[in-house]
Amino acid sequence: MILPSKLVIASRESALAMWQAQHIQQKLLSLYPHMQVEILGMTTTGDQILDSPLATIGGKGLFVKELEQALADGRADLAVHSMKDVPMHLPDGFSLAAIGEREDPRDAFVSNLYKNLEDLPAGSIVGTSSLRRQSQLKARFPNIEVASLRGNVHTRLRKLDEGQYSAIILAAAGLIRLGLESRIASMISTSHSIPAVGQGALGIEVSAAREDLPAVLAPLNHAPTAACVIAERALSRALAGSCQVPIGAFAEIEADEIRMTGFVASIDGTQMARDEIRGPVSEPESLGLALADRLIARGAQPILAALPHD
């Protein structure tokens, strides 16, 4: 293996994205001490448009397009993403070289007034940017109000502290990585809030033309996490999952098998198809597709057809 003398990591400039890029930077430096590893911070369209829900402005792909352009034109060698932000279909010419070990995949309940969702009085305003969270919240607690919440982690916490919301729901992984665990009032179990596809895992994207990079980045791939995320993404692709669709999938390895739960719901949570499957770790893609078929059998297609489309 011929090592490049220098690697440039493309990253969004939010505090969490930079933490993630620096995390990969340190791992690369520990593997290859003589390599120069730099970070190219960038502002994406998704970071710039903060006054509209993601579902109405093009989805989470808005967080990766500029980074992919930097890979395409040679300004960067790799891009680090939260896997939950990576579109289910990568553009031609790009590939995922590695998926890192998953942090806590759960959603976190954050509030200065209440300890958990069950404590919220009727009419409480809960902030989230996610249709997935919104549908599951409304299914369990139809008397609460769900309001859109955009911005980076610190911005969302500030809006909570200003009293705009009774509580907000965030990915636990981001709070943990930023050292903000103390803000978590309680964790929401994956059975009550099925996570986003890939939640808690980091992905490393490269240009497919860079045939030298997969071997260099291979040590950063965490095989158990990768298998779970591949299964989740297969389900989402099969059901046309995007920011505009309330969909979740969570796979974990138990006793040499993958156990995976998935759901599709209407935005208001009144309709939901949900199921679970187990299968071999060696066939994650097939497992995800099989669970998608089960959800279709449970009525996912009419729910999907009724959702707004661009």
**Phi, psi (deg, nearest 5) at residue 244:** -85, -5
- Type of residue found at 243: C
C-alpha pair distances (Å), 43 with each of 19, 49, 160, 181: 15, 11, 24, 26
**Phi, psi (deg, nearest 5) at residue 56:** -100, -10
Find out whether 291 and 283 touch, Cβ atoms under 8 Å: no
For residue 94, what are its two tokens? 């790009």
85 noted as active-site residue: yes
Per the residue annotation, which of 47, 77, 85, 107 is the catalytic one? Answer: 85
Find out whether 67 and 94 touch, Cβ atoms under 8 Å: no
The rounded distance, in Å, linking the Cα atoms of 193 and 245 is 15
The rounded distance, in Å, linking the Cα atoms of 267 and 246 is 6
For residue 109, what are its two tokens? 């309940």
For residue 141, what are its two tokens? 């607690």
The rounded distance, in Å, linking the Cα atoms of 169 and 188 is 9
Closest by Cα among 83, 86, 76, 62 to 11: 76
136 alpha carbon, distance to own chain's centre: 16
The rounded distance, in Å, linking the Cα atoms of 229 and 288 is 10
Find out whether 108 and 170 touch, Cβ atoms under 8 Å: yes
The rounded distance, in Å, linking the Cα atoms of 79 and 65 is 11
Angle at 169 between CA 244 and CA 258, to 5 degrees: 70
Which residues are known to be catalytic? Answer: 85
